[in-house]
Amino acid sequence: MSFKLDKENYGKLLLIGASVLMWLLLLILFKKIGYFETWAIWKVPTWKLTFLDFRLIPGSADSFRHGFEPSISNPYDPTQRIFNYPAFWRLFFYSGITEADTVWISVSMIILFFIGTFSFPEKLSIPGAIGMLFVLFSPASMLLYERGNVDLIVYFICAMAVFATSYSAYVATSLIIIASIMKLFPILGLSILLKEPKRKFLWLSGISVLILLIYMIATWSSVKASWNLTMRGDGLSYGTNVFVTRYAQAIKLILTRWWTPHHSDLLLQFGPLIAALILLFVVMILAWINTDIPQFLTGRNFAAFRMGAAIYVGTFLLGNNWDYRLAFLVFLVPQLVEWMFSSAKMYRIFAWLSLILVLLSCWHLRIAEISLISIFHSAEDSKKFWIILDEIFNWMLFLSLAYLLFASVPEWVRELLGSLLPKRGSHHLPGHEQSSSIS
């Protein structure tokens, strides 16, 4: 490694101090120019009630107390949304929660979000802290805070799982299970256990997946409702299906020139996922060919990278995710900044590419406001250009992170894939985690 970190306390102090100052600035702006006007600076869309996403829980609890089944009819929710959260959140129906609790609970979740962010990095450099701040106060993350979405508390638990990897794999696994019961997708965070020996990783991962499967089977109606009733966003989203969701009719008109309507529908439904899986396989081969072994100064920053990368790659494959989930990309930054100065060429290139793409994706709402009417001659065409460009950036980020994720797996994982992928040389460097990963 040719990169020398600044003193670790300086980066952590900058992260904490700048975050506190930013929130003080936000509070002043709320007071001076107004709540909605402040969010408009980041181009975050707002509603007349604060923390709209969280209000689904007390609103559904109120409907339940009045004899309604919120997953069918939810008249006490502010916008009468159907309750679509996993079964865990139904526990709040018996807690006596009301809409009057919305603000203090949402603010508490935001505070926990930042506590988790301050806790997980280890030996954080000043460039790393600056990169994290650009993600933490990007429009994507601001959307998460403004909506008061429960991903705030899920993120906190994931951050604590990363922190726990320095002390106990069992505690880290338990936290991932808890987060997965809340929102399912954090099961992807089992990638942080790759630092463990092969047998221990397989055992802990197997138990975790088994527990989650039992939970899903026992609460299948809630899982099904969560999948079917969740809105599929397009303008404020990332994932394989976002472009198709937005332009389905136009794409179908083109496809029906060569295929029947039925086959066109199938292609629209499964085509993006198939394309993503093919690209993922190609990236896996390229990562396999790379014989450079990842170097890292701290296991915790490396674990955080695996957490963030696995969640982005996995949720991207699911189809449509609201942009506020891009806040989980903050897990990537400390390790990406370290790799940006690595002596290993491919890690250096993909780290720079990934960090640039992270910032472009997180700041899309603000970037899209740059007028290109002089080029495209209409605001609508300018908007379409930025939407398409954002989709390209999201797909590139998906592939870039997948490359780094696959390239940095322990040697025993490569051995498991050896029968499918080209043979590669075996390089053993001191300090690499493979020494503790092979059992």
Residue 433 has pLDDT above 70, yes or no: no
Sign of CA dihedral 413, 416, 420, 423: positive
Range with the poorest average pLDDT among 230-239, 348-357, 372-381: 230-239
Amino acid identity of residue 141, one-letter, is: S
How many whole angstroms from its chain centre is CA 370?
26
Tokens linked to 291? 């014989």
CA triple 109-212-219, angle to 5 deg: 85
Q: Which residues contact 413 (CB under 8 A, 6 or more apart)?
A: 194
Residues with Cβ within 8 Å of 58's Cβ and at least 6 positions away in sequence, in order, are 92, 97, 98, 99, 100, 101, 102
pLDDT, average across residues 124-153: 96
Q: Which helix (H) or strand (E) holds 237?
A: strand 237-238
Tokens 């590669």: give the residue.
Answer: 424
User: Distance (Å, rounded) from C-alpha 370 to C-alpha 362?
Assistant: 15
* pLDDT on residue 435: 36
Token duo for residue 385: 């250009």
CA-wise closest residue to 361 among 51, 37, 138: 138
Could you tell me what percent of the chain has a pLDDT over 70? 91
Q: What is the DSSP letter of 77?
A: S
Q: Per-residue confidence at 242, pLDDT binned at 50, 70, 90?
A: confident
Higher pLDDT, 342 or 214: 214
DSSP class of residue 436?
A: G
What crossing angle do the helices spanning 261-289 and 379-407 adopt, rounded to 10°? 40
Per-residue pLDDT at 422 exceeds 70? no
Q: CA-CA distance, 276 to 242, in Å (whole number)?
A: 13
Confidence label for 380 from pLDDT (cuts 50, 70 and 90): confident
How far apart, in whole angstroms, are the C-alpha atoms of residue 15 and residue 13? 5
Residue 424 pLDDT > 60: no
- Main-chain phi, psi angles of 322, to 5 degrees: -65, 145
Contact 26, 142 (CB under 8 A): no
pLDDT of residue 9: 64
Binned at pLDDT 50, 70 and 90, residue 418 comes out as low
Q: What is the mean pLDDT of the chain?
A: 88
User: In angstroms, rounded to a whole number, what is the distance separating the alpha carbons of residues 49 and 259?
Assistant: 46
